[in-house]
Amino acid sequence: SSILYSQSGLPGVLPAAIQPAYWLTNARLGIQTSDGKYGLAVFANNLFNKYYTTYGSSSAASGNIFTEGNPRIVGAEITVKY
Reported as a single tens digit per residue, the pLDDT across 2-25 is 555 555 555 555 555 567 788 999
Give the CA radius of gyration of the chain.
20
For 33-62, the pLDDT digits (tens) are 999 999 999 999 999 999 988 887 777 677
Quote the CA–CA distance of 58 and 9 in Å, as a whole number.
6
Cβ atoms of residues 61 and 70 within 8 Å: no
State the pLDDT at residue 7.
Answer: 53
Quote the CA–CA distance of 53 and 69 in Å, as a whole number.
5
Has this prediction a pTM greater than 0.75?
no
